[in-house]
């Protein structure tokens, strides 16, 4: 999200308090603590005065609260509040502002004390006064430091002035966020086991994608150490066949995607050689027309025809480890998302118009993802392009994409948590009505999560 010209500002609350359902008339405005609880209800209210230069564009924000609580089941969430006036010394439970139904941020659970960060929707903040509530659905109370404590809450905002640090935007700069409407978070049913992949050669699965040409077929591949090949399986995890790119050892294949390509009406496989535990500068993606798959009495092995290697590298001298490959079904642009434990994954773009096997393309940095761990292992874009799903070790999310928005713009909106599932691979079904996950190992299960609401 940020470039060298981006600036960061940290704000302390000008007012904060909490209220308790158990003591509806009691005031806590001078307390050194902020308490939140799911039952009986306890909620915290905070107000920040955000002073930014005129013309500043907020790109990323997070709320940071300090806790001595050793456990934080279900974490906490941040909600906008009604316009009812509240003051630190006078607010009590029965007069406190109501919470609005949508969320602007969420912090996941924890198992040790310290600073707990909730990434916030940048579009929910503005210059001047910003008030919101902190709450939880957990019945385990959480205690944070208030502005009267040594560990005062922090609102951290990254911003640009005049587009990108006062200069005209350049290729690779974060894209501006348009106020485009997006729908509510989708919901999915618990996982259903579809079957087990009993194939001894496929024990290091790292990517998953649903075929567009072959109904009910899923594509997958092994991680580093295997030869250059992909596997076709059905929706019950039964192996149909193997398609070989070459007999050479592959270099850290981490994810696979299905999407459009240079020939209109043709579906393509995109296989990402993008991993590297110690980081790497040069990457490549194989692109090939999606082959016809025909199930027989026994699994087959055939070459993957017409595969071309698209070479790319990170800007400057950057080196990263990445495990998430995305292909935009609306534009054919390729996206690579880094794997990091810092909480800020970086997103790079390879535009369709520049995809040429004869060149080595410098990827465009377009945004960051401010998420709890940043250790992302797979992703996919829904067939209609309206949702982006990304999976990590401990969490999975969907970002909703408004009509006319770019992938970078969609990834700067508030993420929706979805059921996590097993393993390192994730893929939407071909109709977008569910998603699959699979892991590595022997006789691994394939799970499906059916969509309940849009």
Both tokens of residue 30? 């001078």
Which residue segments constitute the domains of the chain, with CATH numbers given?
7-161 (2.60.120), 187-453 (2.115.10)
Both tokens of residue 344? 């800020």
pLDDT in tens, the chain (454 residues): 333 346 889 999 999 999 999 999 999 999 999 999 988 889 999 999 999 988 888 888 999 999 988 787 788 999 888 877 899 999 999 889 888 767 788 888 888 889 999 988 888 888 899 999 999 888 888 999 999 999 999 999 988 875 433 343 343 444 333 344 567 889 999 999 999 998 888 878 999 999 999 999 999 999 888 999 999 999 999 999 999 999 999 999 999 999 999 999 999 999 999 999 889 999 999 999 999 998 888 899 999 999 999 999 999 999 999 999 999 999 999 999 999 876 689 999 999 999 999 999 999 999 988 776 558 999 999 999 999 999 988 789 999 998 888 999 999 888 899 998 878 899 999 999 999 999 888 889 999 999 997 6
Distance separating alpha carbons of residues 403 and 183, to the nearest angstrom: 11
From residue 413, give the alpha-carbon distance in Å to each of 296, 306, 401, 409, 443: 45, 38, 9, 7, 38
Phi, psi for 15 (deg, rounded to 5):
-150, 145
Our CA angle for 352, 242, 209, nearest 5°, is: 45
Q: Does residue 315 contact residue 349 with C-beta atoms inside 8 Å?
A: no
Our CA angle for 351, 252, 442, nearest 5°, is: 125
Alpha helices in 255-357 (DSSP H): none
Distance separating alpha carbons of residues 77 and 135, to the nearest angstrom: 6
From residue 443, give the alpha-carbon distance in Å to each of 162, 195, 206, 301, 351: 55, 9, 14, 20, 38
Question: Nearest Cα to 108, choosing from 434, 437, 420, 448?
Answer: 420
Distance separating alpha carbons of residues 446 and 441, to the nearest angstrom: 12
Q: pTM here?
A: 0.64
Q: Does residue 114 contact residue 66 with C-beta atoms inside 8 Å?
A: yes
3-state secondary structure (DSSP) of residue 278: coil
Distance separating alpha carbons of residues 425 and 448, to the nearest angstrom: 12
């Amino acid at each position: 999200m940020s470039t060298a010209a981006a600036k960061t500002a940290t704000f302390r609350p000008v007012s904060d308090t909490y209220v308790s359902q158990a003591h509806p008339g009691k005031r806590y405005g001078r307390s050194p603590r902020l308490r939140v609880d799911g039952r009986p209800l306890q909620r915290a209210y905070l107000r920040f005065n955000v002073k930014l230069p005129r013309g500043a564009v907020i790109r990323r924000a997070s709320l940071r609260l300090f806790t001595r609580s050793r456990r934080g089941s279900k974490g906490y969430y941040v909600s906008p509040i009604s316009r009812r006036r509240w003051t630190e010394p006078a607010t009590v439970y029965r007069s406190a502002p109501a919470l609005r139904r949508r969320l602007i941020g969420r912090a996941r659970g924890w198992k040790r004390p310290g600073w707990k960060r909730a990434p916030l929707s940048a579009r929910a903040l503005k210059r001047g006064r910003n008030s919101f509530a902190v709450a939880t659905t957990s019945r385990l109370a959480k205690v944070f430091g208030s502005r009267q404590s040594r560990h005062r809450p922090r609102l951290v905002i990254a911003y640009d002035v005049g587009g990108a640090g006062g200069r005209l935007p350049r290729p690779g700069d974060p894209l501006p966020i348009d106020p485009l409407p997006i729908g509510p978070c989708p919901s999915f049913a618990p996982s259903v086991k579809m079957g087990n992949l009993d194939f001894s050669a496929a024990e290091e699965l790292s990517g998953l994608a649903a075929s567009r040409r072959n109904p009910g077929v899923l594509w997958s591949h092994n991680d580093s150490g295997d030869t250059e090949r992909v596997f076709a399986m059905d929706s019950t995890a039964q192996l149909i066949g193997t398609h070989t790119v070459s007999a050479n050892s592959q270099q850290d294949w981490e994810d696979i995607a299905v999407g459009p390509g240079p020939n209109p009406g043709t579906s393509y496989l995109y296989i990402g050689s993008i991993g590297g535990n110690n980081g790497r500068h040069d990457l490549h993606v194989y692109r090939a027309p999606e082959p016809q798959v025909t199930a027989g009495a026994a699994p087959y092995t055939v070459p993957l025809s017409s595969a071309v290697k698209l070479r790319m590298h990170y800007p400057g001298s950057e080196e990263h480890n990445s495990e998430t490959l995305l292909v935009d079904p609306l534009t054919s642009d390729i996206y690579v998302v880094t794997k990091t434990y810092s909480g800020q994954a970086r997103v790079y773009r390879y535009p369709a118009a520049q995809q040429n096997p004869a060149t080595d393309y410098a990827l465009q940095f377009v945004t960051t993802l401010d998420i709890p761990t940043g250790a992302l292992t797979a992703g996919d874009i829904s067939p209609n392009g309206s949702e982006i799903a990304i999976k990590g070790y401990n969490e999975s999310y969907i970002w909703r994409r408004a009509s006319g928005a770019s992938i970078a713009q969609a990834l700067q909106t508030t993420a929706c948590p979805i059921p996590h599932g097993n393993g390192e691979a994730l893929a939407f079904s071909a109709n977008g009505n569910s998603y699959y996950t699979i892991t590595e190992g022997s006789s691994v299960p394939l799970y499906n999560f059916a969509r309940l609401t849009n």
